[in-house]
Amino acid sequence: MKPDIFDRSALLRHRKRHRPKALFLHERACDQIKERLAEVNRAFKRRAIVTGHPEFWSNAMPEAEIFADSEVLELDVAQYDLVIHAMALHAANDPVGQLIQCRRALVPDGLFLAVSFGGQTLAELRSVFATAEAEVSGGLSPRIAPLGDLRDLGALLQRAGFALPVADLDSLTVSYADFWSLLRELRDMGESNALAGRSRKFAPRRLFDRAAEIYTQHYTADDRLLASFEMIYLTGWAPSADQQQPLRPGSAQTRLATALNASEVSAGEPVEAAVRKNSDTPD
């Protein structure tokens, strides 16, 4: 068995200390989820939300059943026509397992939506801590959780067996008065360091002072510190026989070159000849 990436007990402690006013990213994610649902021409009768922040999501979507993002989800098999994994996938030790369990909970042709932090989230803070710690202690300690990028998370949908998978992202930059304000807000979000491999020793004050200096030098605008957040949205459907199916390879009735009004180039043809042929083709 692979070792856990996250210390679940620490993660749950951090979440309990969150402040509702700091969940502005959850508000943004919820608005996006509602917009996407409005574009789907379907009335969902039984909805489930998997999240680490049940109070927020139960208030935002009271018609849904709320489930903790435990490693074994308490979702009944084939009971829901909509399952939402809300702002918790980035803290899962087994994200593929989470998606597989969500798919199993869906009825055929049921919809799955997920929103999670993406790889560019807190890129500045990750870089700053790495530099400061190398200077102060001569080594590195895990401080910012590893996060998947758009391609990585999109591939999880296929691995979990979803049909018609789609992944897209939403990026935003948030400004803070100073380095300490950023750290306080992360704590208030419930997103403090919960990595299993984190150092259990108290970090020296000079590490944070040096990190603050580096951050101020490199990532400021109008005397405010900038922090990047990336939200990745995943959409997939539980397989069903009456869904759209991709055409079989070789079944196309029109050649791609004809559709693009371009000259067809044979495999192995020299690049110069291909360019010359295309330049001689009339518009």
Contacts (Cβ under 8 Å, ≥6 apart) of 282: none
The burial class, CB within 10 Å (0-12 / 13-18 / 19+), for 241 is: exposed
Predicted confidence (pLDDT) at residue 282 exceeds the cutoff of 80 = no
Q: 103 near 164, Cβ under 8 Å?
A: no
Assigned domain for 276 exists: yes
pLDDT in tens, 184-235: 999 999 999 999 988 888 888 999 999 999 999 999 999 999 999 999 999 9
Q: Would you state the pLDDT for residue 275?
A: 47
pLDDT in tens, 40-90: 989 999 999 999 999 999 999 999 999 999 999 999 999 999 999 999 999
Q: 16 near 104, Cβ under 8 Å?
A: no
Residues 50 and 99 in one domain: yes
Residues 44 and 157 in one domain: yes
Global pTM exceeds 0.95? no
Predicted confidence (pLDDT) at residue 258 exceeds the cutoff of 80 = no
Total number of residues shown for the chain: 283
Instruction: Give the torsion sign (CA, 239, 244, 245, 249).
Output: negative
Residues 52 and 188 in one domain: yes
Q: 262 near 281, Cβ under 8 Å?
A: yes
CATH number of the domain to which 104 belongs:
3.40.50.150
Residues 276 and 197 in one domain: no
Assigned domain for 3 exists: no
Residues 185 and 86 in one domain: yes
- pLDDT (mean) for 25-48: 96
Predicted confidence (pLDDT) at residue 268 exceeds the cutoff of 80 = no
Assigned domain for 131 exists: no
Residues 224 and 283 in one domain: no
Q: For strands 47-51 and 65-68, give the pairing.
A: parallel
- Count of structural domains within the chain: 2
Query: What is the chain's mean pLDDT, rounded?
Result: 90
Least confident of 60-64, 255-259, 268-272: 268-272
Assigned domain for 44 exists: yes
Looking from the CA of 187 toward its CB, the CA atoms found within 13 Å total 7
Q: 196 near 5, Cβ under 8 Å?
A: yes
* Domain housing 280: 249-283
Least confident of 88-102, 127-141, 200-214, 268-282: 268-282
Q: Would you state the pLDDT for residue 19?
A: 96
Assigned domain for 17 exists: yes
- CA-CA distance, 146 to 152, in Å (whole number)? 12
- CA-CA distance, 246 to 251, in Å (whole number)? 10
